[in-house]
Amino acid sequence: MIEENRVVVTGVGLVTPIGIGVDETWSAALNGKSGVGPITEFDASSFPVRIAGEVEGFDPANYIEAKEIKKMDRFIHFAIAAATMAIDDAGFRITGENAERVGVVIGSGMGGLPAIEHYHKAFLEKGYKRISPFFIPMLIINLAAGNVSIRFGAKGPSSCPVTACATGSHSIGDAVRIIQRGEADAMIAGGTESCITALGVGGFAVMKALSTRNDEPERASRPFDIDRDGFVMGEGAGIVFLENLDSALSRKAKIYAEVMGYGM
């Protein structure tokens, strides 16, 4: 069955430090734009690392109702935005008839680290009653996939790999295999992350894992260069809409690529 069920990409959604959406991000990439700059999400002036790839100009209200925004941490906002783009791009409608054949696999490396820091500070200063009742749903990693499933009515398999930097790729691979096994006809899959916080950056900095090229941040990420000095923290989300090839052909969907293999 795995050989018979071919899987293709019919939709893409991106939230990145160089753009919101596929067109803006792709244009910036072609023009060599760097998304790395001084950290603004917290005061990093005393840190040895003061640069990161922050998403700029992102407004969750463009994708999520105002009353729901405060119930989610930033990594979930990114996931919903990118998933919205990918589903719209695919032109796929999730209905009562196909909902149980559409699933979600979206992972994250750290989940809601900003919420953990924020509410730990509130707890220390004013006690446990200052912790939001939405604190746990804000931070646990499966709530990116969970909120996407709920929002779009996808009632098929739902999961969230947590495998550090490989999480997004593993999520896509796992989703492909779900389709290949015949357990779903379509999957919303990818990765999301937002952990540019004092603890996040500080933790990697004391490991000496991050670049300290603070004076030229646009040239800091150089993994294959002889002068490399570490990686650069980034945030954002990348989501693809995956389909069984027969499903995509039957509705005359545009096809970006076929997934030919997967290793972990």
Residuewise pLDDT in 10s, the chain (264 residues): 445 689 999 999 999 999 999 999 999 999 999 999 999 999 999 999 999 999 999 999 999 999 999 999 999 999 999 999 999 999 999 999 999 999 999 999 999 999 999 999 999 999 999 999 999 999 999 999 999 999 999 999 999 999 999 999 999 999 999 999 999 999 999 999 999 999 999 999 999 999 999 999 999 999 999 999 999 999 999 999 999 999 999 999 999 999 999 899
What string of DSSP letters covers 95-142? Answer: -TTTGGGEEEEEE-SS-SHHHHHHHHHHHHHH-GGGS-TTHHHHH-TH
Q: Which two tokens stand for residue 129?
A: 């009653």
Its CATH architecture, for the domain 11-251, is: 3-Layer(aba) Sandwich (3.40)
- In terms of pTM, does the model score above 0.85? yes
Report the amino acid identity of residue 236: G
Q: What are the sequence ranges of the domains in the chain?
A: 11-251
What is the spatial distance between Cα 144 and Cα 138, in angstroms, rounded to a whole number? 9
Residue indicated by tokens 């893409």: 12
Strands (E), 184-229: 186-193
Phi and psi, residue 175, nearest 5°: -65, -40
Q: How many CA atoms lie within 13 A of 59 on its CB side?
A: 5
Nearest CA-CA partner of 235 in 87, 12, 37: 37
| Closest C-alpha to 122, from 114, 132, 130 | 130
